[in-house]
Amino acid sequence: MRRTLRIAAIQLHSEIGDVKKNLLNCEQLADAAGKAGAKWIVLPEFFTTGMGFTPKLKNTALPADGPATELLLSIARRYQANVGGSFLCRDADFHIRNAFLLASPTGIVGRHDKDEPTLWENCWYIGGADDGRLDVNGIKVGVALCAELGRTATAKRLSGVDLVLAGSYTWHLPDYFPGWLGRHRLDRKLFSEISSWASPFARLVGAPIVEATHCGTLECRDQLLPISYRCPIGDGTKICASDGTILASRQPSEGAGVVIADVEVGSVSPIDPMPRASWIRSIGFVGNAMWALQRVHGRHWYKKHAIPPGEHR
């Protein structure tokens, strides 16, 4: 059965590694969404910390029942809403995962762990294996985080859902990349053709999608080179109908804020055919090479730095 829901997505200007400040900013933005009548509120990926290759992220993973979860539950109860977002979560096995938790006024509805870290994210957490499908009072909800939206396998596992909840933290090419080598052209390709994935994903699964994101500027160290990495963050927060039409959006240049739309929720026949390739839009030879290289380096770094001594699994 199709129904109309008022849904909000948060665009967060996060301070990397500053959990206390980020939680406070999230609460203020979620309050604005709740006061505007939103009954579904989506926070972005890494809403507690941001993301980058920086020592500021050490020891910032929170327990599954910690302050991030308490915030989600508090907002859900305050506005009688469903509230979700993902954060670096240290589980009982001592491993860290990028965990999306969805809270209702009565408790946690479910959880999705991002299936595979992206590039330097491999330094901070390991992937999960759940299908990302939740049932919320008869609404079939799919959850996907950032680059999961770019992969065909995600579209297949979320086929037939009524609503997709998504969070992302996307970064651009660094300012040290020479302009004469085509930095601006490559950056446009990355964000216009590859990482602008909300609308194409909606058309593939036949369901509306809500993508909460970050904005601002990222400054950290390059993962593979001993130099600084500085770039803008994000491609904008979006709420899209099942045919890919953008119902509401907020550009990164507009800063932190809330996007709200009344969304017709329910599964329809997908408009576009399912791609045969693993990536919905090709990331090319260089993209695949960097994906593999940073994964190898990141996994080694994670084992050495992110797991407490004596707890390697």
Band of the pLDDT at 151, cuts 50, 70, 90? very high
- 311 occurs within a structural domain: no
Q: Spell out the residues 6+ positions from residue 18 whose beta carbon is closer than 8 angstroms to its own.
A: 49, 56
Check residue 181 and give its pLDDT: 63
pLDDT tens digits along 242-251:
999 999 999 9
For residue 182, the 8-state DSSP code is T
CB 51 within 8 A of CB 61: no
CATH of the domain at 218: 3.60.110.10
Q: Which residues pair with 169 in a beta bridge?
A: none
Query: Total domain count for the chain?
Result: 1
- 290 occurs within a structural domain: yes
Other Cβ atoms closer than 10 A to 88: 22
Check residue 172 and give its pLDDT: 86
Give me the percent of the chain exceeding a pLDDT of 70: 93
- 310 occurs within a structural domain: no
User: Does residue 309 have a pLDDT over 60?
Assistant: no
Check residue 283 and give its pLDDT: 84
CB 218 within 8 A of CB 231: yes
pLDDT tens digits along 269-284:
999 999 999 999 888 8
Check residue 313 and give its pLDDT: 47
- 312 occurs within a structural domain: no
- 33 occurs within a structural domain: yes
- Coil, helix or strand for 89? strand
Q: Which domain holds residue 118?
A: 3-305
- 207 occurs within a structural domain: yes
Tokens of 82: 């469903």
**Rounded mean pLDDT, 283-301:** 91
- 104 occurs within a structural domain: yes
CA–CA distances in Å: residue 187 to residues 137, 159, 176, 179, 207: 41, 30, 13, 10, 28
Which one has a higher pLDDT value, 60 or 193?
A: 60
**Rounded mean pLDDT, 167-177:** 88
Greatest Cα pair distance, the chain, in angstroms, is 56
User: Does residue 48 have a pLDDT over 90?
Assistant: yes
- 164 occurs within a structural domain: yes
Query: Which stretches of 84-180 are DSSP H helices?
Result: 152-157
Q: What angle do CA 302, 71, 42 make, to 5 degrees?
A: 80
